[in-house]
A = this chain, B = another copy of it.
Amino acid sequence: MELPESVTITEVGPRDGLQNEARILPLERKIELIDKLSQTGLKRIEAASFVHPKAIPQMANAIEVMKGITRAPGITYIGLVPNERGARDAIGSGVDEIATIASASEAHNKANVNRTIAETLEGIRDVATIVDEAGLRWSGYISTAFGCPYEGEVDPDVVIEIASKLRDYGASAISLGDTIGIGNPRQVEALVARCLDEVSGPELRLHFHDTRGLALANVMAAMNAGAKAFDGSVGGAGGCPYAPGASGNVATEDMVHMLHAVGVETGVDVDRLAEAAWLAEEILERELDGRYKRTLDRD
């Protein structure tokens, strides 16, 4: 088992988590959750999505969220953007970094943004120009990188091709998304190895959903293949509104607990993260899937 000394965690709960919750949160509760996450040792928090509120009402008030949070020093606050308008809003709101998104399957990309993959990539290139001018870094998610709810298997060649384009456009990082939690450790090991080999330059991140309980096994497999950056959602909140049967991202605190247990540093305080997961449960008024928090006494 080859493991890195440390990995970087990107907390995506306030974005990928909240956007698929049935409950639409008031502005102040989103801010409260992000502020709580800022006290856990996390260095990267995806705080908002600058989509049109008609498309994803859960993500309304993105600008106000960014203006309202109490920024902790050393934390990169990230905003997801669907297009140039979103990029301008995000930059204007003060985000430190931009995230873009494309799917590795046409059907999912169509469902997600009603465009072809090629059109989406062209849009990302335009966004990249704006972000470059603002002097910020940007990353690219590749959704359905391990399987699609509509098309089934996804060709790894397509994933590599999209990743290469994102690299060519200047992405500082690429996050391979297992949107519907269908990836398995053998597949993850193979795709991570290929990406690191064929798409050098951008940092490779892995973004696992835990639909079939495989997320932590996939994190181990990805590390064994050389990956050093992972996305998680506090408590395991989230999913994908356009991916039937998808459940939340891997619970960040479960992942951090495992990483520490196997001797991989994250810089995150797992018990503070569990407290943030409890806050998320309180705000969302439902029990979240994360396991680690259930083992703690809650004072």
Contacts and interface: CB of A to CB of B under 8 A. Distances in A.
A213 B216 contact: yes
Contacts of A113: none
B257 A212 contact: yes
Identical chains bound together, number: 2
A2 to B, nearest CB: 11
A292 interface: yes
Interface string A214-257: 10110111001000000000000000000001010001001001
Contacts of A187: 261-262
Contact of A1 (B3, B185, B216, B292): B185
A184 interface: yes
Contact of A220 (B217, B245, B261): B217
B1 A189 contact: yes
A64 B175 CA distance: 55
Interface string A162-190: 00000000000000000000001111010
Contacts of A216: 213-214, 216-217
Given A185-B262, A213-B213, A217-B219, 19 more contacts: A1-B186, A1-B189, A1-B224, A185-B258, A186-B261, A187-B262, A210-B291, A212-B254, A212-B258, A212-B292, A212-B295, A213-B254, A213-B258, A213-B291, A213-B292, A216-B217, A217-B220, A220-B221, A247-B291
